[in-house]
Amino acid sequence: MRRKLVGLRNLGRLDSALDSAGLKAAGSAANDVRLTTRLVHGLPWAAIALAAGLASLFGSVEPTATSAEPGIAPPTPIKHVVIIYQENHSFDNALGRLCVVYRRCDGATHGFLPSGDGITLSKADDIVLPINHDLNTQKAAMNGGMMNGFANIPACTESKGYACYTQYYPSQIPNLAALARRFVISDRTFSMDPIASWGAHLELVAGQLDGFTGSLPVKTSSSGDLPGWGCDSNRDAAWRASPTADVQLVPSCVPHFSLDPTLYPYGGAYRPTPVKYVPTIMDRLNHAHRTWKLYASTGPGVGSYGWAICPTFAECLYKQRHKMVPSERVIDDAQRGKLPSFSIVLPEGANSQHNFDSMLQGDNWIGSVVGAIQGSPDWPKTAIFITYDDCGCFYDHVPPPIKGWGIRAPMVLISPYAKPHYTDSRNASFASMLAFTEHVFGLKPLSVRDANAYDYAESFDFKRAVLRRAKMTHSRISPQERRYLKAHPGDPDDPT
């Protein structure tokens, strides 16, 4: 459906038409939240476009810092770090409207078209729309930092109803919204690179791409019906030996050449590979005698096993696979007070909020996981990060401040030590979660990215614990939508 272009409204008003359910709490919340909104919504369209262009200009230089700024230093009360890594949403798509409703953070309810005209971000359907979001598409959407190229994406043109100019109301994602209101929102966290899921999952634990471009692995003549995207998939991915070298296809595997060469003659890859071993956060935790788990799908087929991280690293896949356990185990481990020092929680496909899946079902999943942790003996010493692995190429208005970074991601930080109702606007990336983990546990950095990353120090007050929890709910998915989801499953070979 074609949507009408509109001028700016006074978005500072808490108009009941925005989100009647969310606004019932707005009056009381407004009294105790930190009002850090940048009220760019009061500027003319041209002024905002100019501001975006200037931000792109001044943000287009690589960071010059040679060492990390002072941040978190051990000891801290945190004994458990949990990363809940969902799928395919930008900040404005997931939290932009909440920011405007609660005047809390830098969100938008309007966007820009390539023409420079403004467009209202319409209310998203519960079933997430399919938008291509590979490397080239994300770069086209950012348009050199102008953040106005989204309608050039084939699935987001005028004839497609500007499908990526949509966003969720707080009432559509009640658990994420409740956690964002109660705890910390980072409104300046960006993906490390403009890449889709496989590369984003790789660098989440390695702090780098190890020469891979981040493009999804592709089938080869050896693939057959093997699962996933990693070392056991017999798939290839784009890689280059240096930033100026030609791209070549190599096994989608980070090898480990200490493996038994009689069993793994190519370091765990299915054929010879020029890729070098790089350490992961799991290696750092092992050396520090800290525990970890990857809560991820272990089922057959590509499916969400492609997100599982462990199969991409030969050392993890062939020596530590027992630490990759089914996603639902995190709830049981939390309830028993058995969370490891470090956890990455990767949802099953239906809970992932991925394209063609239900946003509300994924929100129920988030509520189940966080609710179990909040009710756990481990809660008083836990920090939780909820974020999304890439933008899904849904609209966001904030240009990346560092050259090479990707589109802004939703980020909510939850802990008894997280500052209540706080917005952290320091520039951060997914490497910041690695920096936080390394600083809390006294680990060596993995790469220059996490070594120099902001570690969310401003989001926490480790001298003061507030054990109050956010109430989690379970929302009903309508029978009609359940029937639709069953009849229209996503492509199991494209869990991007």
Q: Between β-strands 118-120 and 248-251, what pairing exists: parallel, antiparallel or unpaired?
A: unpaired
For the chain, which residues make up each domain, given as ranges?
Answer: 20-205+276-487
Torsion sign across C-alpha atoms 250, 252, 254, 259: negative
Give the gyration radius of the chain's Cα atoms: 22
Considering the domain 20-205+276-487 in this protein, what is its CATH number?
A: 3.40.720.10
Amino acid identity of residue 223, one-letter, is S
Instruction: Check whether 34 has a pLDDT greater than 80.
Output: no
What is the pLDDT confidence band of residue 16, given thresholds at 50, 70 and 90?
Answer: very low
Instruction: Check whether 23 has a pLDDT greater than 80.
Output: no
- Out of 54-63, 81-90, 284-293, 473-482, pick the least confident: 54-63
Q: Between β-strands 382-388 and 80-86, what pairing exists: parallel, antiparallel or unpaired?
A: parallel
Contact 128, 167 (CB under 8 A): no
Instruction: Check whether 477 has a pLDDT greater than 70.
Output: yes
For helices 431-441 and 197-206, the axis angle rounded to 10 degrees is 20
| C-alpha closest to that of 108 among 121, 117, 127 | 121
Rounded to two decimals, the pTM is 0.87
The angle at the Cα of 183, spanning 180 to 188, to the nearest 5 degrees, equals 65
Q: Name the residue with higher pLDDT: 487 or 120.
A: 120
Q: What are 98-152's pLDDT values in tens digits?
A: 999 999 999 999 999 999 999 999 999 999 998 988 999 999 999 999 999 999 9
Instruction: Check whether 217 has a pLDDT greater than 90.
Output: yes
Whole-number pLDDT of residue 496: 64
- What count of residues does the chain have? 496
Instruction: Check whether 292 has a pLDDT greater than 70.
Output: yes
Instruction: Check whether 76 has a pLDDT greater than 90.
Output: yes
**Whole-angstrom Cα distance, residue 331 to residue 323?**
16
Contact 164, 394 (CB under 8 A): yes
